[in-house]
Structure 1
Amino acid sequence: MDPKYLEALFAKYPELLSPQDLEELFGLSRNTLYRWLQNGVIPAYQVEKTWLIARDQVKDWVWKNRKTLRKGQTSEVNDEDQP
């Protein structure tokens, strides 16, 4: 994955992402997305009922996991092995 592509992918999104932004970005179902958020798979913080998702942290996470994500090996980045 080209860093310029990654920048362009995230460019239209605000500094704080919503869960809906992540659904759109990753093509995840709502259930999978919230499971990933709750289990810490995707970097985010929950304050009461609101998820705070920093665009730059997610972008860094995508970059660090780019080989796994590109191959579609989501079992290596999802929460199946987490309690």
Structure 2
Amino acid sequence: MSKIIDHDPTERPGRRYSLGKWWLGVWAFIGLIWVLQALTDGYDWGQITLGVITGVMFAYTVVDFHLSSGGSARDL
């Protein structure tokens, strides 16, 4: 016995929470901050390394929570 799933062809997919094209503005702002930092005080490589490590750990945590709560890699 096969089951037939009733599907509404006009149903819209669930909303994805993404900034879309706004990410370009976010990255432009971050780039501006890096340029201003370089022009004023220079870089402190210890803080940059700590920031990169923290960012990688945060990204890993977000992906881990997403996957452990039932999300798929396709959603990322």
TM-score range, shorter chain: under 0.3
- Give the TM-score normalised by structure 1: 0.23
Question: Which structure has the larger Rg over C-alpha atoms?
Answer: 2
The higher relative CO (CA closer than 8 Å, separation ≥ 6) is in: 1
From the two aligned structures, give the one with the greater strand fraction: 1
- Give the TM-score normalised by structure 2: 0.24
